[in-house]
Amino acid sequence: MEDVKNNAGQNLGIAALITGIITFVLAVIPCVGLIAIIPGIIAIVLASVGLSQAAKSNSPRGVLIAGLIIAVLASIISLSQVFVAGNFINKADKWPGEIQNIINDVQENVLKDIEDANISIKVESNGDKVEITTGSNKQEMEDKLEDLEGGNTQANDTLQKKE
């Protein structure tokens, strides 16, 4: 006489184990980690239903328990991705302010460098050479222009003084 094994819930156990392992692999990958919660819940449901069937008919539960443990672990990892993303968003919220500060610093440094710089303009026409050397400071440039024009010729200035 051959003993026939009672396999109630075994197929569900296999399905739960397969889904659980796939969920586990997906849950660890940040790109798709959050989606993994869906197969994780499916695997938990499959394993739970399988366990209840196995309990009724007293059939082996090894695969079912393995499937349930892996599915629960995978779902926890998948849920933890929410915290990872949340943590990232919290950090990212501070970034615009930090980036603005960096831009301001760079802007200040560049302006300071320009103010300190000396500008030299050389003009050559019909053998005559004129060289103007001045700082980039606005007041200094206006003074130099006055010198070159020889007196008070503000009416023809292209640089308008601020009121």
Partner 1 sequence: MILYRRKSKKEEFMKVSLRNEPYLIINIFFAGVIMLIIAYSGIFSPEKDNYPVICIHEKLTGIPCFSCGLSHSFSLIVRGEIKEAYEWNIYGMRVFLFFVSQLILRFAFSLFYIRYADTRKHLIITDSVGSGIIFFIAFWPFICSIAKGIF
Instruction: State the DSSP code for 119.
Output: E
Least Å distance between CB 106 and partner 1? Answer: 22
* Among 8, 10, 23, 46, contact with partner 1 (rule: CB under 8 A): 10
- Sequence letter at residue 46: L
* 118 binds partner 1 per the rule CB under 8 A: no
Q: From the CB of 33, what's the least distance to partner 1, in Å?
A: 7
Query: CB of residue 52 vs partner 1: minimum separation in angstroms?
Result: 18
Cα separations in angstroms, 136 against 86, 96, 111, 113, 144: 49, 32, 10, 10, 11
The footprint of partner 1 on this chain (CB under 8 A) covers a number of residues equal to 32
- Nearer residue to partner 1 within complex by CB, 98 or 124: 98
- Residue 48: which of 66, 64, 36 has the closest Cα? 64
Position 34 contacts partner 1 (CB under 8 A) = yes
Least gap, CB of 30 to partner 1 (angstroms): 4
Q: Smaller CB distance to partner 1: residue 2 or 124?
A: 2
DSSP state of 36: T
Q: Which residues of 74-112 are buried (b: 16+ CB within 10 A; e: fewer)?
A: bbebbeebeeeeeeeeeeeeeeeeeeeeeeeeeeeeeee
Applying CB under 8 A, among 1, 121, 123, 155 the residue interacting with partner 1 is 1
CB of 22 to partner 1, least distance (A): 7
Q: Binding string, 62-101, against partner 1, x = CB under 8 A?
A: -x-------------x--xx-xxx-xxx--x---------
Q: Pick between residue 93 and residue 128 the one whose CB is nearest to partner 1.
A: 93
The count of other CB atoms within 10 Å of the CB of residue 55 is 13
Residues 6+ apart with CB under 8 A from 105: none
